[in-house]
Structures are given as structure tokens and as C-alpha cells.
Structure 1
């Protein structure tokens, strides 16, 4: 979508009532790198414009000052202004304050602007053309640098946020949870979105810290650990029992049955071999169970100590 079309989709968005803040507007601050803003009462016309450009893949000024757009893109004469261009007008009595909006149309002495923070909402409002400080167009503005969902998932996993789950490119609940955990650890706004602030933080982040007690501990509430311990116990008992026995149950049943198979074994001399080998075969099976249970237990402990599991 074009930035202007994205902007139109927000028409009607208003600031939160009373002390409440509209999370949509808070997301706009965050998407241009200003997730430190705590309330939507902070002037957000430039955040709105920047958010629309960033969503369209065009780098904004990433500033909250409206006049920052006077040095952005390429200049356009007022008579050549088109829908979707950027208009900047003064606000207040200082030479740094201003208001920025998308130009919807120019009719005579009036310019109709689609902007945020216009009567505390996203609206289309008219302003005198004579007030325009400048009109700008994206031109050859550098593309916005944001990561794909897949890239964010991989980076989070590399940093130790294994709750992200599978690397599948889907913005599911596990990915959102990992993003929130990373944002919390890095003092970013707690919004589960991929924005400029998140992208830059991921680029410079160091691996997640593991608490000392976790790094040397073992999981206490794990079905894998419980099952592994049970398998180890049963495997040891089974191995000892197999080695200690002289005649395997299967061979005893075969002798009692005196069926054709037993006669064949006796005829070719396998009965004695089986009576000796079966206990050791059984022991080998039980030892194998113990071995794999120990591996599963060790892997679970390693996952716990490295933070791969909750």
C-alpha cells in the first residue's frame, strides 16, 4: 500500500479518553523509534506521518518534530503538489514548532491535509495555502530498514529467546511473547510489533543473561525428567534381573510347550545358546533404555541451564 492509502485507513483514530492512551497511537511513536513516549498526549503528527511511510517501506525522518520533514525527500512547488505529498505549516510562536500532514488536495486558497493529531484525531482538515512552509515528496528517500518475521525469529533464538518457537515466518503468540520478553529486557515499549526500535535493538543486542541459579541448576517440574528417571530406574532393575537370571522366560515357556520350535532348537543345538544369550540380550536392551534416558535427561538439563526452556 502507498503511504497515503495507509494514512486513510487510520481516519477516525482518536487519542484515548481521559488518562487512557490509544495503543494504536502508541504504536506509531514506537514504529519511528520513540517508544519512550508514555502518553498519546505528546504531539504525534510527525509520528503518524513517519509510521505510514515506514509501513510502506519508505524511510521517514524518524523524528517527532513536524519541521524535520522540510529537509526530507525532494522539494515540490505548491502548484505542482499532488495527493500524497507532504505539507508542513507553522504552529505556535516558535520557529521549531509545526504541523505536518499528507496533502489530500488543494482548492483555491485552501489545502486539505490528511494528518494525525488534528483535533486529537486522524482527520482531513483544511489549512490556508499561504501557511505552507514547504511541500515535499519521497523522491529517492532510502528504504526503511526493518526485519522480516523470519529474521526476527532467528535473531531472537540466537540471542537466547527460545520461547519464540519454530522459525516459520508466522507472527503467532509464541513470537509475540518472545518479542515482548526481548523488549522488556531492553527497556523498549511493550508492544508485540516489529518496528525500527526493535530492529535496531536486535542488531546491537548481546545474548540473554542466564541467572546463576538456573545456569547450574536442574529443572524440578519437568515431565521429561520424571519419565527419564523412571526409565533409568526400570532399566537398571531390568538389566540386573536379566543378567542374574539363568533361564529367560521365553525359553522356559518354549521348554514347557515342547512344540515344534523347541524340538528344532534342540535338534540343531540352539537351545543351549539361547539359554545363555537371552539374559544378555535382555540386559543389552535395558542398558540401551538407560543410555537413551540419560541422554534425554542431560539434554533437558542443558536446555534448562541455557534458557531454551521455561
Structure 2
């Protein structure tokens, strides 16, 4: 597979420079995301200058989807992609930044939401969580926003999660107001000493800024930045709650 690590690093430099210099030294790179188009533009006819996936790429994504298990838990479906592809073919489960083609696997995860993506340059952690839940025969939120799990009916909040439950993080601006942004992923190991290991999509790991991986997260407040409109905005991200997955 073509190595795009060099492009990833180059693409992040101008975005990081837009963060306030005084805050930049404290930014945790765990949450540095690419500059995504707004959700409302994803299904629009314009293609943002990116090329559609080739027939061969779409066929490979279909094979990966068909081979994915259906349980026993939703987290096991997420783990399948890591166990099978993370070490030797990590690009197959990662976002492909422009000018590369769109990763059709990432685009397919939005089939579990009401958002119809036509490329992979979009935050997709919630789409991936919903896709895994749906494949496991469990209801999700049908929403591509991570914070949708906070409002969904039928989801119980948990103080002490079990393996396979969801962790929902929320971003707050420097005044303490929620930004409506965050992250959602499956709990791999119960939280301990202010950290929790999660399995999810759209997470930075192994030279990719957006991939499916297993990673340890702080449950406390973490200084970071998110793209709002066309600007990088400094903020604080912290664990909001755990959601029970029956």
C-alpha cells in the first residue's frame, strides 16, 4: 500500500499553526483532527476536489465488510478491523487525505446513519460506532454526531462501564460551553487511574491521523483544538459519560 505518512504530517502543519501560540504547547495531539467539510456539505454534488474510489478499492472494501463478524458484541466487530488490518494493512482502515481517493470503507460506515457521505473527509467515529452496533443487531442513533449518544432514547448512562460499552467525550470552549463536538468509542478495558482504553474509529495512531485503533484516553480534561468553520479553535475535551450497550 502507498505510504501517505509524509502527506499527513505536511497537511497537519498549517492547521496547527492556526491555534493560538500560547495554547499550542499544551495541545494533546491525540485529538488533532483534519480539516473536515461541514456535515451539511458531505452529500452535496461538489466533490471537494477528491477522487472517487476505484472499482478495485470498492471491491476490497466490500470484501472487508462481508468478512466482518456480527458479534458476539459490537466491540468485537470493531476489534476485527484492528486484528486483521492494523499491523500490515493499516491504510485500509484509515482515512485517505486528499489528493488520494476516498476510502470506500469509511464512506460505507455512514450507511448506519442518516448522513450520506460521498467522501471520507468527515469525522466518522459515531458512524463507525453505529455501524458496529447495527451489524450486531443492536439499535444505534442513526446520527453521525458523537454527541447523539447523549440524547438517544434507550441508552442508559453508566458510571462504571463494562467491556463493550461506549465512552462519550465532549469538547468545551474556553468559557466552559459545550461545542457539540467530541468523540465516541467502545470501552476495551474498564477505566483505571484516570485513563480508559478504547476501540473506535477516527482516532490518530501509527502515523495515521484518522484510523480504527485501540488507544488509551485520559478521562480528565485534555487541552486540544477542533476545526469550527474554517478555524482551529482551542478547547478542552473530557469524558462526559459511559453509555450502556446491552
- Provide the C-alpha distance between the structure 2 equivalents of 1:68 and 1:38, rounded to a whole number of angstroms: 21
1:30 aligns with 2:111: yes
Q: Which of the two has higher C-alpha Rg?
A: 1
Specify which of 203, 208, 224 is matched with residue 118 of structure 1.
203
After the TM superposition, which parts of structure 1 deviate over 6 Å for at least 4 consecutive aligned residues? none
Partner residue, 2:241: 134
Bigger relative CO (Cα 8 Å, ≥ 6 apart):
2
- Match runs of 1:230-309 below 5 Å: none
Structure 2: which 5+ runs fail to align? 1-70, 87-92, 205-209, 221-237
Paired residues of 2:114 and 2:144 also in contact (CA < 8 A): no
Q: TM-score, with normalisation over the residues of structure 2?
A: 0.52
Residue aligned with 2:197, SS: strand
Paired residues of 1:70 and 1:135 also in contact (CA < 8 A): no
CA positional deviation for 1:33:
3.0
- Match runs of 1:44-59 below 5 Å: 44-59=124-139
Residue aligned with 1:46, SS: helix
Specify which of 74, 79, 90 is matched with residue 156 of structure 2.
74
RMSD: 1.6
Aligned length in residues:
136
- The structure carrying a bigger strand percent of its residues is 2
Residue aligned with 1:60, SS: coil
Residue aligned with 2:121, SS: coil
Pair 1:91–1:123, CA change in 2 (3 A) = farther
Residue aligned with 1:70, SS: helix
Structure 1: which 5+ runs fail to align? 140-310
CA positional deviation for 1:31:
2.8
